[in-house]
Chains A and B, each alone.
Chain A
Amino acid sequence: MEVVQIQRRLVDFTKSLFMEVIPSKKNKTGTLRHTNLLTKISVLCLICLVLLLLVVVDREKGLLDSQFLQLQQLQDESNPDFVVEVVSLFFDDSEKLLNELTIALDQPNVDFKKVDGYVHQLKGSSSSIGAQRVKNACVDFRNFCEVQNIEGCRTCLQQVKQECYLVKNKLETLFRLEQQIVASGGSIPMIEMDF
């Protein structure tokens, strides 16, 4: 029962941070004082999760956008691993595409149409999982393809690789934290945000 209350307060806390209202410290510390070890661990995990999400899910410059939340909403008891599965598909797919792009841009005569095709695919899949910065980097990349600017393309490829690496790291950490919460008997709070 107590865990549920703590989870609810954390969700409210998360929301309030997006509304730029600073909650009173009293509530948080007061709650922590009267819990046992297990719930303390859950709470700490949840706080980490929330902080991670705050860094990760920012309206304009965040690593993720609302599409990621949409995916989380599609997950339920009958499909408990949906998000992990889709994201894993993205990791595999993006790795293949980035390899192809590296090869294609290394050619003496670069086939820009081919390159654009790969970037288009990557843009689509990153958009589908909510990997906002990857998608935006792909948009820039396509612009350079259109004008057949090889140096611009190569720079963009590095940028896209960087963004993929970044979002992969963050999401892997997120999933690990979720696993820890579930393993310690807690459940993942639904973070609802107003996009």
Chain B
Amino acid sequence: MGMAADSEFHVLAVDDSIIDRKVIERLLKTSSYQVTTVDSGSKALEFLGLREDDGINPNTPSVSPNNHREVEVNLVITDYCMPGMTDYGLLKKIKESSSLKNIPVVIMSSENVPSRISRCLEEGAEEFLLKPVKLSDLKKLRPHMLRTKIKSHNGKQEPEELGMPDEKIGFPSPKQEEQQQQQPQSKNNKRKAMEEDVSPERTRPRLNGITTMV
């Protein structure tokens, strides 16, 4: 799998500061991603094909056929707070939308506030980057984009060859599960679902003293 694959990734960068937009655009292009920059959360939603006022009802997000994004967005990187949208408001709107919730979202902030960081991660952000963002920080983005791309193209493929952390493979021991309580909700649910599929095998009652082996 060559590095040329990176140019297939399209990142939407959202920041109200023109200087930060210019810098993040250069950082992303240097990392061989395609970039679109917008200066507000509402423009970001517009670009993603979601009208802001329809985000209120999470069950029926409006993706107007005319506004439907022609370009696939593989990751959204956004400033934490921007005028016009409440803190991490864009993140919430994306995660509430059935059409957009699988897009990985990365938050940037100039302030290192632990409660802010954990809140963002809880709300579904993949990463929290401290500003000013450096080239080395962007290395953290690729795994998230690869994971999403594989999911959408191949269904559930085991991403072992990508060197993904073990949390995606196999079944967690009770200790691991505790640590992973801090992971975003969706991941926890996924894992629990996996576990439920597996555990019946172990807890299947022994019928008449015979152990059922599959």
Interface residues in chain A, defined as those with a beta carbon under 8 Å from any beta carbon in chain B: 67, 70-71, 73-74, 79, 82, 85-86, 89-90, 93, 120-121, 123-125, 127-130
Give the top 3 A-B pairs by smallest Cβ distance, nearest first.
A125-B19, A74-B26, A128-B132
Establish whether residues B135 and A73, one from each chain, have CB atoms under 8 Å apart when the complex forms. Answer: yes
A70 contacts which of B18, B22, B132 (Cβ < 8 Å)?
Answer: B132
Residue contact B134 to A125, C-beta cutoff 8 Å: no
A125 partner residues in chain B, CB cutoff 8 A: 17, 19-20
Nearest B residue (CB) for A75? B26
Complex: how many Å from CA A123 to CA B23? 15
Give the residues in chain A near B119, CB-CB below 8 Å. Answer: none
Contacts of B22 in A (CB 8 A): 85-86, 89
Contacts of A89 in B (CB 8 A): 18-19, 22
Q: Given A85-B22, A124-B110, does the pair A70, B17 have CB atoms closer than 8 Å? A: no
In the complex, what distance in Å separates the CA atom of A67 from the CA atom of B132? 7
Q: How far is the CB of B158 from chain A (nearest CB, A)?
A: 36
Q: Which residue of B lies closest to A129 (CB)?
A: B19
Contact assessment for A123 and B26 in the assembled complex, using a CB-CB cutoff below 8 Å: no
The contact sample of 6 A-B pairs, CB cut-off 8 A, is A70-B134, A74-B135, A82-B26, A86-B19, A86-B22, A128-B131
Chain B residues within 8 Å of A123, by CB: 110
- Give every chain A residue within 8 A of B30 (Cβ-Cβ): 74
Docked complex Cα distance between A71 and B17 (Å): 16
Closest A residue to B110 by CB, please name it.
A124
Nearest-neighbour CB distance to chain B for A55, whole angstroms, equals: 22
A82 to B26, CA, bound (A): 9
Q: Out of B19, B20, B27, B110, which one reaches A74, CB within 8 Å?
A: B27
* Minimum Cβ distance to chain A for residue B62 (Å): 32
CB-CB under 8 A from B134, the residues of chain A are 67, 70
Query: Known: A74-B27, A74-B30. Is A128-B135 also a contact (CB below 8 A)?
Result: no
Provide the bound-state CA to CA distance between A86 and B131, in Å: 16
Query: How many angstroms between the C-alpha atoms of A70 and B135 in the bound complex?
Result: 8
Contact B20 A128, beta carbon cutoff 8 Å: yes
Bound-state CA distance A51–B42 (Å) is 47
> A52 to nearest B CB, angstroms?
23
B111 vs chain A, min Cβ distance (A): 9
Given known A89-B18, A93-B18, A124-B17, contact A71–B23 (CB-CB < 8 A)? yes
- Asked if A86 meets B110 with Cβ closer than 8 Å, knowing A73-B135, A74-B135, A128-B131, the reply is no
Q: List A contacts of B23 (CB < 8 A).
A: 71, 74, 86, 128
Beyond the given A123-B110, A124-B19, could you list 10 further A-B residue pairs with CB under 8 A, ordered by the A residue number? A70-B134, A74-B135, A79-B26, A86-B19, A86-B23, A89-B18, A89-B19, A93-B17, A121-B17, A127-B132
B195 to chain A, nearest CB (A): 43
Name which of A89, A120, A124 has the most chain B CB atoms within 10 A of its CB: A124
Q: How far is the CA of A10 from the CA of B45 in the complex (A)?
A: 50
Partner of A124, one of B26, B27, B131, B135: B131
Q: Which residues of A contact B132 (CB under 8 A)?
A: 67, 70, 127-128, 130
Residues of B within 8 A of A73 (CB): 135
Shortest beta-carbon distance, B140 to chain A, in Å? 16
Which residues of chain A are within 8 angstroms of B131 by Cβ–Cβ distance?
A: 124, 127-128
Of B19, B110, B135, the residue contacting A93 (CB under 8 A) is: B19
User: Restricting to B120-177, which residues have a CB under 8 Å from any CB of A?
Assistant: 131-132, 134-135
Q: Which residues 1-57 of B sit at the A interface, judged by CB distance below 8 A?
A: 17-20, 22-23, 26-27, 30
Q: A70-B134, A82-B26 are in contact. Are A124 and B20 (CB under 8 A)?
A: yes
B107 to chain A, nearest CB (A): 15
A129 partner residues in chain B, CB cutoff 8 A: 19
Interface centre among B23, B27, B132, B134 (most CB of A within 10 A): B132
